[in-house]
Amino acid sequence: MKNKPCSIPDHATFRILFKRYITAHLVKEAISTFDRLEEFNLKDEISFCNLVDALCEYKHVIEAQELCFFGKIKEIGLSVNDTKIHNMILRGWFKMGWWSKCREFWQEMDKKGVKKDLHSYSIYMDIMCKSGKPWKAVKLYKEMKKKGMKLDVVAYNTVIRAIGISEGADFGVGVFREMRDLGCEPNVVTYNTVIKLLCENGRVRQAYAVLDQMLKKDCAPDVITYHCFFGCLEKPREILKLFDLMITNGIQPRMDTYVMLMRKFGRWGFLRPVFMVWKKMEELGSSPNEFAYNALIDALIQKGMLDMARKYDEEMLEKGLSSKPREELGTKLVQGGEDT
């Protein structure tokens, strides 16, 4: 590779290589590869950050931390207090869901005098929201404003959700207006966040108004946009109309879209809409998984249609899918190869 100019590797080549090693949990091999980058004049800050990023992305944060603070960081002349490196490790703890470690690392950044940037705050606000403490994310947002930090769309998306949950939908919408007034253009995630807040608070008309704004701004809705509505609407006809509109607008339903709707209609005892969704799933070329089959079978059992339910139960078993044990169908949970 080295002798052929057309195939000389670059940073992108080794970034891919690091990821492949680390996804296979071959951490030593990834670090060994970094050590050999001097042969290609690529043993530098970019390659080091690519290695650390891959370690954190695939939940090898402990190894990343050891590498950064007790290992090779000085070899490439990068400061141990580098903000970018700390952000990667903070995000790594976030991906692992180790909330106490996140908090500990955040405090450690202060003790070490690491300068926190917009990305640092965005990650930690997201951590606060995901760990069930949205009010702490709001506190961080206020701290950022005091420091005169200019928020980007990613930070605003987190703040809108956090303030909407902790202080109410109106406050979330207020931050949404603030971001637009300050020239920060909302993206599809922003609109989805606002729509979800409004839907969760039963303000569906306002949510539809936000959807209209979205379309006027040429921001195309995605499947999540429609999921927000499906989760709160209570009229089968309205749900089916929106479902058809979603498909007409070129948005392919996901398997969890079909399952969500079939479960909802099934709970309400509406069998016809369940079959309409099932038919549309087949028409669009999606093969039902075990959750889709179970949603259909549960709806049939609820309506007393046991023969048809048994037919679908047998069909899913023939496809190698796991069926739920159901007393109504005389099926039992199999353990250790024997019926219990």
Sort strands 334-335 and 338-339 into parallel, antiparallel or unpaired: antiparallel
Radius of gyration of the chain (CA): 26
Query: Residue 323 has what pLDDT?
Result: 85
Read off the tokens for 185: 């253009």
Question: Are the C-beta atoms of 70 and 81 separated by less than 8 Å?
Answer: no
Rounded CA-CA distance 37/14 in Å is: 9
Rounded CA-CA distance 280/286 in Å is: 9
Please state the domain extents for the chain.
259-324
Helices marked H in 36-98: 45-57, 61-70, 83-96
Write out pLDDT tens, residues 176-219.
Answer: 999 999 999 999 999 999 999 999 999 999 999 999 999 999 99
Rounded CA-CA distance 284/279 in Å is: 9
Question: Are the C-beta atoms of 186 and 216 separated by less than 8 Å?
Answer: no
Query: Residue 334 has what pLDDT?
Result: 44
For residue 338, what is the enclosing H or E element? strand 338-339
Question: Are the C-beta atoms of 288 and 320 separated by less than 8 Å?
Answer: no
Which of 35-49, 76-90, 126-140, 310-324 has the weakest average pLDDT? 76-90
